[in-house]
Structure 1
Amino acid sequence: MRKLLTAGFAAAMMACGGITVAAPGTAAPQGSHVAGQILVKFRDDRAAAGVLRQHGLSDGPGVGSTGARLINVPAGKELQLISALSRNPAVEYAEPDEVVTATTDDPFFDRQYALHNDGLSFKSTGGTVTVTGGDAGDDVDAVEAWAVTKGGSTRVAIIDSGVAIDHEDISQRVVARANFSDTVIREGNPADNEKYDKYGHGTHVAGIVAAEHNTVGVAGVCPECTILDAKVLNDTGSGSTSRIVDGIDWAVDNGAKVINMSLGQRVSNRTLEAAVNNAWNAGVVIVAAAGNGGTQAKVYPGAYANVIAVAATDNKDNKASFSTYGKWVDVAAPGVNVYSTFPFHTTVLGTQNNRAPRYDVESGTSMASPIVAAVAALAWSADADATNETVRKKVEETAEDIGGNGTNWVHGRVNAHDAVKPSVP
């Protein structure tokens, strides 16, 4: 289908779009870890207190369902204590807590080339969106998919900087929220409403997934999906492995069918991988941004086997210049100048990138990832017998070959309409 727009953004250290996040598709600098805490998993929890006491440490809380513990340590001694604990036979592993960073009848639908591409390109400068012509590229065929399903209340967890509750185009899609970040939010206090997403990233991602068909603003790829809002990134777009793990576990416990993580870190982490594997084993499809580094360097959680890693393309189906790529990346989706929701209030991301409140474009694999997550949710809702394995297979095997298969990505750019079609026996 040849029609309109440009999409993108990356989490976890993606440069384009003015974000450095291991959530929209990029990662924090190698070796960047949270000061004053480490992750430790014991072979036998009964030995924990004694082993820790030998190093002058106290036991700490569990990290999700991973079996690891979050241990407070003197700042600056993290790596030294990790080394010492790793030599103890009672310890299965000790590792840093890595820094993670942050990818219709509606009046702005014509700006959403990812859904309906007629060859126009949109760019935002100082809150003003300019339009230029161009040869039509290919979109993800969301409009055609809506003739089959619009999502059927499928739950998609957005593990990010939070979703603004002051935006009528997305707030009503949020059915549950939890704050795992270091931002203090007093639940039910109107004065704290802006704190749900002071950064701006999570609200943009959520709108890409599920902005309503309501004669207002934009349309989400899965407009009848519901959102589980797990706030793990703070007002600067930063978080940690342990907080991401808490968000993943919470999403699973609250019935997520799909988890989107437009964020990332460049260092693999056994605790994070365990949380991802637990979510997969619980029947969830996990999607994450590949990163905005423009290289083939792996970003996590995207690079884990049980995660669909997403690269970014432009409105002509070319790989975005900033997008991370490689044989470890599974699929691609629009990620350059993707038009979506922003909070009504002032945000850090909006200020940094000169974006307007309410609606504007953003670029990165952070923007491409939620498109794929939404396509997965549509595939779930179209098949009563679906499993996470069959949904992932449909999303990947129905992706369109736009060139670059085996080099930039494995399968190509996703196609929502083909993903919701019944499987041929």
Structure 2
Amino acid sequence: MKKVAIAGLAAVLLGFGAVTAAGPTNAATQPPQVTGQIIVKFRDNGAAAGVLRQHALSEGAGIGSTGAHVVKVPANQESSLIAALSRNPAVEYAEPDEVVTAATSDQYFPRQYALQNTGQSYTNTVGTLTVPAGTADADVDAVEAWSVKTGSGIKVAVLDSGVASDNPDINPKVVLRANFSTAATNEDNYGHGTHVAGIVAASSNNTIGVAGTCPGCTILAGKVLDDNGVGSTSAVVNGINWAVSNGAKVINMSIGVRASRTLETAVNNAWSKGVVLVAAAGNGGNQSKIYPGAYPNVIAVAATDNKDAKASFSTYGASWVDIAAPGVNVYSTFPNHPFVLATQNNRSFGYDVGNGTSMSSAIVAATAALAWSSHPGATNTSIRADVESTADNIPGTGTFWAHGRVNADSAVR
């Protein structure tokens, strides 16, 4: 690791989310569905064309390996057509295509308390923001883990808003890109995906920027959110399928949406192929479930701060939230070109802090990748068990989350 002088950067502590911008996921704040399309799965695909013709519709593109299809429908008729199709015995299910949103000696390594926190009384200054070291046990022992493995050879898929091509700390780690959003390109013009990817795998020992939790890992950058941080269930499902097909050992989803049978099928298919899936628990400050985090085959991650306490914004509940990780003032990469979060939340180009279970999810996904590199003969079941069973038993364990705050060093050993 490199410890170089810290340059001040202006930052405003406004969380950018792991789920919806509104945070809580009650009925009044549920994200809307995509206009003009729905998701339909038929029991017999041979009957699809005939059933759809009855409603003046035509069959659409398949979604990943789920067997479901996106069907174009007239605007404002989504709900009525879902109801009508659901009554047809040839239809296994019809559901909305929900809107998905973002859940939120290297130069700045001293700012990365989540990776190494000595507990000393240094001041970690970002502009006018002072971030104290907190307690020594509030980090995930990443530096200690690197003495065992750094994640070399492990691909982590980041399904998000893309990864900036102009940040030299994370762009070289991207080995494949794909755009499943409605944006014109796969460039990250929102900022969330670049921040998440940097937490996972930013280059280490390169004299610039930050270090990723799994600095030897590579990134599959699946853009499922557009340039305003909004996507769809079908985009996420296609991203999952793409990630599995291209060798991802871990898929990180710092995003949130309502329950979807199509999304659950994609998650289960990925799990059956041996992939570890990790997702943000949400920033609602309540116990409301969000997906894909709440699916059984996904590790749902809550957020802690630099004193190992639950972040005030973090969604929680040990019945479905599996583990916790630092998610307050997490320093990472951002684009070096104009991006939405810079405009909305005064984030700086290049590097700055982020708050949210989005950040926590990325740390856990990277820890799973480190564990894969340390246990090459493992299965996704055993890797998940390694990550969860070795977590530190901090206050809130068993109440806010099931297994504690993740410990990378323990997981790799």
TM over 0.5: yes
Distance 1:242 1:123, change over 3 A: farther
Question: Is 1:374 the equivalent of 2:366?
Answer: yes
Aligned pair partner of 1:298 in 279, 282, 289 = 289
Per-residue deviation at 1:118? 2.7
Cα distance in 1, alignment partners of residues 358 and 277 from structure 2: 14
Per-residue deviation at 1:16? 5.4
Runs of 4+ in 1 over 3 A off after TM superposition: 18-29, 119-125, 128-137
What TM-score does the superposition give when structure 1 sets the normalisation length?
A: 0.89
Q: Which amino acid in 2 is paired with 1:321?
A: S
Per-residue deviation at 1:405? 1.9
Question: Is 1:308 the equivalent of 2:327?
Answer: no
**3-state DSSP class of the match of 1:311?**
strand
Per-residue deviation at 1:30? 2.1
Q: Which amino acid in 1 is paired with 2:299?
A: I
Cα distance in 2, alignment partners of residues 100 and 121 from structure 1: 37
CA contact (8 A) 1:27 1:264 kept: no
Q: Which amino acid in 1 is paired with 2:268?
A: N
Runs of 5+ unmatched residues, structure 2: 1-12
Cα distance in 1, alignment partners of residues 175 and 411 from structure 2: 25
CA-atom RMSD in angstroms: 1.9
- Cα deviations by residue, 1:166-216 (Å, 9 ceiling, x for unpaired): 11101110000001110112xxxxxxxxx6100000000000000101111
- Cα deviations by residue, 1:126-182 (Å, 9 ceiling, x for unpaired): xx6544465545210001000000001200000000000111101110000001110
Q: Which amino acid in 1 is paired with 2:68?
A: A
Q: Which amino acid in 2 is paired with 1:63?
A: I
Per-residue deviation at 1:19? 3.9
**3-state DSSP class of the match of 2:256?**
coil
Q: Which amino acid in 2 is paired with 1:299?
A: I
Aligned pair partner of 1:209 in 193, 200, 217 = 200
| Equivalence for 1:283 | 274
Distance 1:326 1:305, change over 3 A: same
Q: Which amino acid in 2 is paired with 1:199?
A: Y
| Equivalence for 1:11 | none
Cα distance in 2, alignment partners of residues 386 and 142 from structure 1: 20
Question: Is 1:151 the equivalent of 2:151?
Answer: yes
- Cα deviations by residue, 1:233-253 (Å, 9 ceiling, x for unpaired): 011100000000010000000
Cα distance in 1, alignment partners of residues 261 and 147 from structure 2: 42
Aligned pair partner of 2:394 in 395, 402, 425 = 402
| Equivalence for 1:49 | 49
CA contact (8 A) 2:117 2:135 kept: no
Cα distance in 1, alignment partners of residues 326 and 22 from structure 2: 13
Cα distance in 2, alignment partners of residues 220 and 18 from structure 1: 19
Q: Which amino acid in 2 is paired with 1:17?
A: G
Cα distance in 2, alignment partners of residues 373 and 243 from structure 1: 20
Aligned pair partner of 2:264 in 269, 273, 278 = 273
Distance 1:355 1:38, change over 3 A: same
- Cα deviations by residue, 1:75-132 (Å, 9 ceiling, x for unpaired): 11111000000000000000000010004x112111000011134575645xx65444
CA contact (8 A) 1:16 1:322 kept: no
| Equivalence for 1:351 | 343
Question: Is 1:199 the equivalent of 2:190?
Answer: yes
CA contact (8 A) 2:159 2:239 kept: yes
How does 1:248-263 map onto structure 2 within 5 Å? 248-263=240-255
Distance 1:17 1:177, change over 3 A: same
| Equivalence for 2:407 | 415
CA contact (8 A) 1:20 1:26 kept: no
CA contact (8 A) 2:31 2:100 kept: no
CA contact (8 A) 1:257 1:377 kept: yes
CA contact (8 A) 1:23 1:288 kept: no
Runs of 5+ unmatched residues, structure 1: 1-14, 186-194
Cα distance in 2, alignment partners of residues 318 and 166 from structure 1: 35
Cα distance in 2, alignment partners of residues 124 and 254 from structure 1: 38
| Equivalence for 2:101 | 101
Cα distance in 1, alignment partners of residues 278 and 14 from structure 2: 20
**3-state DSSP class of the match of 1:197?**
coil
Question: Is 1:113 the equivalent of 2:113?
Answer: yes
Distance 1:380 1:274, change over 3 A: same
Q: Which amino acid in 2 is paired with 1:323?
A: S
How does 1:106-185 map onto structure 2 within 5 Å? 106-119=106-119, 122=124, 124=126, 130-132=130-132, 134-185=134-185
Per-residue deviation at 1:315? 0.3
Question: Is 1:234 the equivalent of 2:226?
Answer: yes
Distance 1:412 1:321, change over 3 A: same
Per-residue deviation at 1:404? 1.3
Distance 1:23 1:373, change over 3 A: farther
Q: Which amino acid in 2 is paired with 1:41?
A: K
Q: Which amino acid in 2 is paired with 1:156?
A: V
Q: Which amino acid in 2 is paired with 1:311?
A: A
Q: Which amino acid in 1 is paired with 2:107?
A: P
Q: How many residues align?
A: 394
Per-residue deviation at 1:352? 1.0
Q: Which amino acid in 2 is paired with 1:113?
A: Y
